[in-house]
Chain A
Amino acid sequence: MLDTLLPILLFSALALAAIGAVRRVRLWRQGRPSSVPVIKGLMQVPRRYLVDLHHVVERDKYISHTHVATAGGFVLAALLAIVVHGFGLDSAILAWVLLAATTSMFIGSLLVAKRRSPPPSRLSKGPWMRLPKSLMAFSIGMFIVTLPTAGILPEGVFQEGLGWIAALVLAAVIVWGLGEMFFGMTWGGPMKHAFAGALHLAFHRRPERFSNRAGGEHRSTGLKPLALDDDRTKLGVEVPADFTWNQLLGFDACVQCGRCEAVCPAFAAGQPLNPKKLIQDMVVGMAGGTDAHYAGSPYPGKPVGEHAGTPHGPIVNRAGGALVDAETLWSCTTCRACVEECPMMIEHVDAIVDMRRFLTLEHGNTPNKGAEVLDNLIATDNPGGFDPDSRLHWAADLNLPLMADKREAEVLLWLGDGVFDMRNQRTLRAFISVLRAANVDFAVLGTEERDSGDVARRLGDEATFQSLAKRNIKTLAQYRFSRIVTCDPHSFHVLKNEYGDLGTPETPANYHVQHHSTYINELVVAGKLTFKAWKGGSVTYHDPCYLGRYNGEYEAPRDVLRALGIEVKEMARSGYRSRCCGGGGGAPITDIPGKQRIPDMRMEDVRETGADLVAVGCPQCTAMLEGVVEPRADIKDIAELVADALIIKTPDDKATQSKPAPAAPRTVLEATP
């Protein structure tokens, strides 16, 4: 009986899976078009899976082993089952391999079961709780039916007497297993992640982020530009179908592992955001329905079951109650911790900014100080609404060389909007004293500089971003410099990764941009700076999101600190796992309330290391962390630490003659607090 039943079961499960696959693909195709290389993409899947995806999964050794055993076992077992039981190929060797594959899968499923008893809060429950049992059903069922083929049990054991009953039970177990593994894969069960995930890897919206055989850095963190001149299309994402189809496909690939939830600073602060739930809400919207079946942690403070959506219904309603609430989208600091951790390579930040674009550009609904900041950026080119002509007032005594006078310089020093902030002016002064001590040929744009557009873009105002960026590009095109150096990782990121798209053939915008820590490190390595011995207390270092995760610069700041004689006491969350200070993505401007503040949590991380001082490399981080009430560690920018430790060589006679007024070394002495 089983001999006839098994092929029927197998092929009907496969047929149903195929129907489900077509339905699923049609759900994705509701999205906007986006062209991808189909064949090339599909060919890349094994590599992207085995190298890039595995690289992320491997951060959790337990689950990476589990997944290798389970998924590897399953793929092999499924293929062999089709050959052996589907087509009835009577090969003892294949049967033995099939036995081995199902055994591996069974061991994997035991590990899955163990991880889920009890499940950590970041994991989803609901249907996911039955997954280990379904995996066992499939592996055990397949194992037993294969025993006769492998010659372990006599042929025909399942045909008489007790065997009949055993066969019935076995058939039921296999139906369960096939149901979950084949049918569920395309009809929306937990195994959907395998089907959608593989295609998501093939058709990812940012193919640049995957490694290739040539090696090298593979990072893709700049936001994609929005076409603004088409009068008919709406700007940004209003309804789920406004995402591109491969974004929808990406959302569908989520395994609800909750790694993103575990690292999200907004979630930890009790703000109404949970990246995992957000992705699931997009899936709900794409398929139509309510979030009542969601079985993971909710958005803090927002009960599950009150939101619903359809593919062509709005995601956000002004009055709330649509698919997600606006506060959820505005809570994100765009720190990219979720993207960094996501084993399915889902791009949460892109999705959030896409939806913000609609809210800002079409609804005109940027919360709290958002509208004011954007108006200021439009009218004065800086978020504070300060007189743009007063950009260099803070440096009246520094006699900074201007690009407008010099026309060319080795280093173009991008000052950023920190020029209007008294705290950041100290950092800038320190960095300028370092540049002067190393005799660097540099110049600033002065009043020709504008806000880089970072905050406007992250608040969804692509129009203001592009306007600022294009004018900055035009200004930069007038001068010759071999690199741009800045103390602001946000300007750094935007200049380096986002201006390129807006360049024109006459004014290309591909600059060599460096963060000041990288540049100082180069000066140190070149022997241009000498330092006094470090006499302060213990120090920890806070990685800025826009320097670390966005641009992969983890080492240079640490090297500089080491060169100063400082041994960094690392925080539990540092490097690519660094926790955001709460200052990115316009979050301090939209200011969505939570239970605690993100910078407070970060200073708590600092406190746990026992460090007396936290070294930072970003004006936002400085402001956010210094806003935490005392007692707390001191906060100093790397540039300040370096400037404090400088040993100034005796002034060069020639230099003082040619430039009598503000001799460089004097300034250094003044700048050191």
Chain B
Amino acid sequence: MPHDVSNTSAKATTPGGLNVAVLVSIGRHPLTARTRRADQDARAVEMALTLQSASVSLLHAGQQDSENEEAIRGYLGMGIDSVNLIEQKPQADVIPALAKALRASAAQLVLTGTRAETGEASGITPYLLAEALGWPIITGLAAVEKIEQGTAVVLQALPRGKRRRLRIRLPAIATVDSSAPPARQSAFGPAKRGELAIHLEPSAIDEALGAWHIQPARKRPKRLKIVKASSARDRFKAAAAKADGGGGQTLTDVTPEQGAEAIFKLLKEEGVLR
């Protein structure tokens, strides 16, 4: 059935037609742990679908089993005809396979969620991919405003509702978090009829991952924030307050090297790097 897409407010215009690839993963419901389409990835698909005259292709690297298939079909239900499923072993490092597929696909823009809901969920995949492909990466994509002559003008979401306009060179990778518009409903009919195009790829086994011992996270008690407020206004202010990090500095008009230097220094101070 036509899941007609053209009606949703489209902001970008691309005369030549833009190739957008969306990387999708298996999601997991936070309460019941049932597999589902991952929220952020679904938002990435939503963003791709609202780009005018973009041809959208979906890519998933992982295993094909009935539970995963149901989750993947969740994306198909948004009105996508097929998903490319690169079959990989459970212990595989999917970066090489994804990089290879993306290089072959002529995608100009790659969208994906910031962090997966299953697996390592470290949020590092987009960075590793960007590194492997040599493409720029932008995080927290809120909207694509314009795409012309190999560059895209996009809005990046910053904390507390701020937005920053950026111009990036394509091809590029962009990650989407929950500040992007919510995903459309996944409809049962198209989900059931959509195609899973399966590609077999050799798996690059991730030795380190194999050595890991994985166990369910233990719930830690949350520290209660005691708000001593006498008026509704104070309570509101306390509830809406920014977590105070204290200190910090804003660097403007610095060269990338100086910026990197500053970050490096900070990481050393904090003991992240030794």
Contact = CB atoms under 8 A, between A and B. Distances in A.
Interface of A: 228, 231, 234-235, 238, 318-319, 360-366, 370-371, 374-375, 378-381, 385-388, 461, 463-464
Contacts of A463: 188
Contact of A364 (B29, B36, B190, B192): B190
B34 to A, nearest CB: 6
A379 B184 contact: no
A461 B191 CA distance: 13
Nearest to B78: A364
Nearest to A359: B187
Contacts of A366: 185
A380 B31 contact: yes
Interface in B36-61: 36
A364 B193 CA distance: 14
B140 interface: no
A231 B7 contact: no
A318 B78 contact: no
B36 A318 contact: no
Interface of B: 1, 3-4, 7, 29, 31-32, 34, 36, 77-79, 184-190, 192-193
B206 to A, nearest CB: 30
Contacts of A379: 29, 31-32, 34, 36
B78 A385 contact: no
A375 B184 CA distance: 11
B186 A364 contact: yes
Contact of A235 (B4, B7, B184, B189): B189
B76 to A, nearest CB: 11
A380 B32 contact: yes
B7 A318 contact: yes
Contacts of A361: 187-189
Contacts of B186: 364
A360 B77 CA distance: 11
A620 B66 CA distance: 37
Contacts of A228: 188, 192
Contacts, number: 65
30 contacts: A228-B188, A234-B1, A318-B7, A319-B7, A360-B187, A360-B188, A361-B187, A361-B189, A362-B3, A362-B187, A362-B188, A362-B189, A363-B187, A364-B77, A364-B184, A364-B187, A365-B187, A366-B185, A371-B184, A374-B185, A375-B36, A378-B34, A379-B32, A379-B34, A381-B32, A385-B31, A387-B32, A388-B32, A461-B188, A464-B188
A231 B193 contact: yes
Given A371-B185, A378-B34, 12 more contacts: A231-B192, A234-B1, A318-B7, A360-B188, A361-B188, A362-B189, A363-B3, A364-B184, A380-B29, A387-B31, A387-B32, A388-B31
Nearest to B28: A379
A360 B32 CA distance: 24
A463 B187 CA distance: 10
Contact of B1 (A363, A375, A387, A388): A363
Contacts of B32: 379-381, 387-388
A197 B76 CA distance: 44
**8 tightest A-B contacts by CB?**
A364-B187, A371-B185, A364-B185, A362-B1, A362-B189, A463-B188, A379-B29, A361-B188
A365 B78 CA distance: 10
Contacts of B192: 228, 231
A364 B182 CA distance: 14
B3 A364 contact: yes
Interface centre among A361, A366, A374, A385 (most CB of B within 10 A): A361
Nearest to A318: B7
Contact of B185 (A319, A365, A380): A365
Contact of B190 (A362, A371, A381, A387): A362
A53 B261 CA distance: 87
A366 to B, nearest CB: 6
Contacts of A385: 31
Contacts of B3: 362-364
Contacts of A371: 184-185
B4 to A, nearest CB: 6
A370 B36 CA distance: 18
Contacts of B78: 364
A313 to B, nearest CB: 14
A383 to B, nearest CB: 14
